[in-house]
Chain A
């Protein structure tokens, strides 16, 4: 028996050490990317602000009556749900909590008698739903920790297309987005937002009493300007959602990998102690064997 348990502990320590190295590497990679992800969020902000301001300018000028802001006259009974999860795991409960939130939303929509059409971004969500044999109306795996404007536009155009499609071509009544909100480095919250029909509330400035509303010149017409603005507004919202989700994913991964590294260290410490104990036990046993052997010889 001697050395048997020692060898097992040594092997465990070794494998845990190599796991620890991987966790540490993942943690460092995630940490280095968070800064970049947040910089991208900040870089996209001026566009979002400009579009929002322009939309509110039109809203203040003319009553917004646009297909994107109004409910369908004949509801189709369909609702689109867009899920933003991650492409890779090793991010703790990041994707799991998004999927849980999505399931809750789907149940709620179905309870209201709506048919749900799912759109998924991120391989984790796609794998989850295709494994369960659920149909996805659209799927994107695009490198969820660094979304580009091109992918975001493609997603937004698909979703807008579904919303604007006539009822017989499987148009949807509303669009819900399930994604993660980056609160800070330690808190990321799953968030469900109804994105379409649009409710333009943020940043709409209402002029005070006696204050003249700036008289805008619209070229070519308020309707045409709105037509050009609203899809961009949706696109910038979708892009913001993807960027926020990317930052959240990286933060979740960094935290999960940090915990994993700590756990690996704990395991290594425990196994080292056990290995030492086993070695001591082996030595003690050998000594007592030798001593009792010598005693037996002496007394013989």
Chain B
């Protein structure tokens, strides 16, 4: 099964990068879950929790205060302003 290539970047650094199974992000219209082969998406994020899961379990769980997420051909980029890892 296809995997997601995830980049989680903050203003001044790259927070996490790797392949993942699912990504959950708090979009302004509600939580969105992203699996492989998701259709291209650009969503604005509201403050909330971003969770990235790999086969081995939760890889990143972080509190963010806004940003956006883009999905394009299994390349997921989560761009956040401020991030606090849980």
Could you list which residues of chain A lie within 8 angstroms of chain B, going by C-beta atoms? 40, 43-44, 46-47, 50-51, 53-54, 57-58, 148-149, 152-153, 214-220, 224-225, 228-229, 232, 235-236, 239
Contact = CB atoms under 8 A, between A and B. Distances in A.
A19 B66 CA distance: 50
B79 A232 contact: yes
Contacts of B72: 57, 214, 216
B27 A50 contact: no
A215 B38 CA distance: 12
Given A57-B72, A220-B29, A50 B42 contact: no
Nearest to B17: A46
Contact of A46 (B14, B42, B73): B14
A148 B13 CA distance: 12
B44 interface: yes
Given A50-B70, A214-B40, 18 more contacts: A43-B13, A44-B12, A46-B9, A47-B11, A54-B70, A149-B11, A215-B40, A216-B72, A217-B39, A217-B40, A217-B42, A219-B27, A219-B28, A219-B29, A225-B44, A225-B68, A232-B81, A239-B11
Given A50-B70, A214-B40, A43 B12 contact: yes
B10 A57 contact: no
Contact of B12 (A40, A217, A232): A40
Nearest to A236: B11
Nearest to A215: B40
B43 A225 contact: yes
| Chain A binding surface SS class | helix
Contacts of A153: 11, 81
A53 B70 CA distance: 9
Which of A58, A219, A220 gathers the greatest number of chain B CB atoms within 10 Å? A219
Interface size range of chain B in the complex: 20 to 34
B14 A54 contact: no
Contacts of B7: 46, 50
Nearest to B39: A217
Interface string B71-86: 0110001010100000
Interface in B17-60: 27-29, 32, 39-44
A54 B39 contact: no
A218 B11 contact: no
Residue of B27, B66, B72 contacting most chain A CB atoms (<10 Å)? B72
B68 A228 contact: yes
Contacts of A149: 10-12
Contacts of B39: 215, 217
A232 B79 CA distance: 10
A47 B40 contact: no
Residue with the highest number of chain A CB atoms closer than 10 Å, among B9, B73, B79: B79
B11 A50 contact: no
Given A44-B11, A214-B73, A232-B79, A54 B40 contact: no
Contacts of B11: 44, 47, 149, 152-153, 235-236, 239
A43 B42 contact: no
Nearest to A54: B70
Contacts of B10: 47, 149
Contacts of B42: 54, 57-58, 216-219, 225
Contacts of B73: 214
B14 A229 contact: no
Which A-B residue pairs are the 8 nearest by beta carbons?
A219-B43, A149-B11, A228-B44, A43-B13, A214-B40, A46-B9, A46-B14, A217-B41
B12 A54 contact: no
